[in-house]
Structure 1
Amino acid sequence: MMLEYELVLSAYLLSIGIYGLITSRNMVRAVMCLEHILNAVNINFVTFSDLFDSRQLK
């Protein structure tokens, strides 16, 4: 159940970051939107590392 929430949050952050990166004219705002994209990627890494146990990958 929490997997869906985390993936929706990650997709939401990714879409906000991409939209902001495309439409921003200010460099500081573009870097902030890039941080949203990187946070979405990190949330995905944490979610899938929790889903797939390291013993299952061997």
Structure 2
Amino acid sequence: MDRNRIEGAAKQVKGSIRQAVGKITGDRATQMHGAAEKLTGKVQSKVGAAADTLRHKLKK
């Protein structure tokens, strides 16, 4: 498993928590930062998945 997939998943969780805290407290800035971090984590996970796929295909 690629390191980017692990770090991306962690960012998604962290972003979800930050987004929820922003919703609870009514802080739109925190909510938006959480959404952005969550999206960044998704992209990073996709990059890691692509790297895994490429590595797998090169081994064949």
Q: TM-score range by the shorter chain?
A: 0.7 to 0.9
* Contact 2:4 2:44 (8 Å CA) reproduced: yes
| Structure 2 residue 12 is matched with structure 1 residue 14 | yes
Query: What is the alpha-carbon distance in structure 2 between the residues aligned to residue 8 and residue 46 of structure 1?
Result: 11
Query: What is the alpha-carbon distance in structure 2 between the residues aligned to residue 51 and residue 12 of structure 1?
Result: 18
Query: What is the alpha-carbon distance in structure 2 between the residues aligned to residue 36 and residue 43 of structure 1?
Result: 10
Unaligned runs of 5+ in 2: none
Name the % identity. 10
Aligned residue pair count:
52
> What's the TM-score once normalised by structure 2's chain length?
0.71
CA RMSD of aligned residues (A): 1.7
The letter for the 1-side match of 2:41 is A
Residue of structure 2 equivalent to 1:26: 27
Structure 1's consecutive aligned runs of 4 or more residues displaced over 3 angstroms after TM superposition are none
Higher relative CO (CA 8 A, sep ≥ 6), structure 1 or 2? Answer: 2
